[in-house]
Amino acid sequence: MSTNHPKTLPPTVGPTQVAARSNDPTARLRRAADAAGDLRFVDDSNCVVLLVDDQLMIGEMVRRALASEPTIVFHFCSEPGEAIKTAERIAPTVILQDLVMPGIEGLSLVREYRALEATRNTPIIVLSTREDPKTKKDAFAVGANDYIVKLPDSIELIARIRYHSQAYLSRRQRDGAYKALHESQRQLMAANIELLRLSNLDGLTGLNNRRRFDEYASTEWRRALRERAPFGLLLIDVDQFKPYNDANGHLAGDELLRRIGGTIHTSCRRPEDLPARYGGDEFAVVLPGVQANALESIGERLRQAVQDLKVERGSSFGAPYVSLSVGGAVTVPTKEDGLLDLIAIADKNLYEAKTKGRNRCIVHE
């Protein structure tokens, strides 16, 4: 049998009714606490309180006690398993931690806070129902900062929250200032080191400049004098550089000096060797601790390395490629001798290398 009457369907449940069923007292308290915190202007001077307690009544009492304090932001967590995540999210300046909760011991949470970088230094006030000396001892042993038998008068609670929060904020500001100061000092030191490095470099060739040569040579000479160790020196001159510069232009001359400087730097293999631009088209290498035969080998290696560049001089020059003349000297310093005496000997040997046809290395002691 059919009928024209519509079928009666079961009543539907609207979203508001679902929300009403899920709107339990704990959720309401948590939303109330978070909403109050959202309405307050949070800055670096605010006290941010996180209460971890499974008792709704305690949460509501603390919320009401702090409601009239405009610079205290209150958050409530009733699930011990969510305490760590909540603390990481809101960055509290003080944590009120219940001691006895289902599923986890309050002191275990204190240990977890202390093991976490974000809450390692956050003040923790343990809440307990007992005034027990041993429990207090255990709480302080795992890292608690304070111990309250819940719940104290609101004036005392607020005073303790402010005391620990302000100490924490002061420490955070101090650490931030120290960190900023340390970073500024690091940057200043790096800038000074870079400035010193640049002040010691020749702008054209990238080698050490004459000032650095004089400083290093004097220091190593005194060291060799104390240790009775040999001290070697090479003076290097680019053969016929002025005619090459005049014929090819100053840009080509500068490029030639850069290439020769790079070759000399690469050919100096020991960390203690110091290659430098001595002046104009002259170079020098300080070689502490080197013997005479080794000094001559190094001079020959430098000369050959530049010749192997095969930089053409031009048709008007006798030799086809740019070359070096090298003069060297080595001695064991004594009180009677000076660094200038050794430089004079090396310079004399350099002059001899040039007068004997250039493109050669001469080393005499």
pLDDT, residue 19, reads: 40
Q: What is the rounded average pLDDT of the residues 295-315?
A: 90
Give the pLDDT confidence score for residue 176 in this predicted structure.
86
Sign of CA dihedral 347, 350, 351, 352: positive
DSSP 359: S
Which 8-state DSSP code applies to residue 296?
A: H
Q: Can you tell me the mean pLDDT for 265-290? A: 94
Helices 106-115, 83-90: axis angle to 10 degrees equals: 40
Tell me the per-residue pLDDT of 121-130, one tens digit each, with 9 for 90 and over. 999 999 998 8
The average pLDDT across 320-339 equals 93
* Mean pLDDT confidence for 177-191: 90
CA distances from 278 to 69, 220, 236, 258, 286 (A): 74, 17, 9, 14, 11
CB burial string 276-301: b at 16+ within 10 A, e below: bbbeebbbbbbbbbbebeebbebbee
Confidence of residue 264 (pLDDT cuts 50, 70, 90): very high
> If we measure between CA atoms, which residue out of 128, 138, 86 comes closest to residue 108?
138
**3-state SS assignment for residue 226:** helix
Q: Is the pLDDT assigned to residue 202 strictly greater than 80?
A: yes
Selection from 220, 243, 239 nearest residue 283 by Cα: 239
Residue range 16-66, pLDDT digits in tens: 343 444 456 556 565 555 555 454 444 566 899 999 999 999 999 999 999
Q: Tell me the pLDDT of the chain averaged across its residues.
A: 87
Instruction: Answer with the residue of higher pLDDT: 325 or 34.
Output: 325
Q: What is the predicted pLDDT for the residue at 199? A: 87
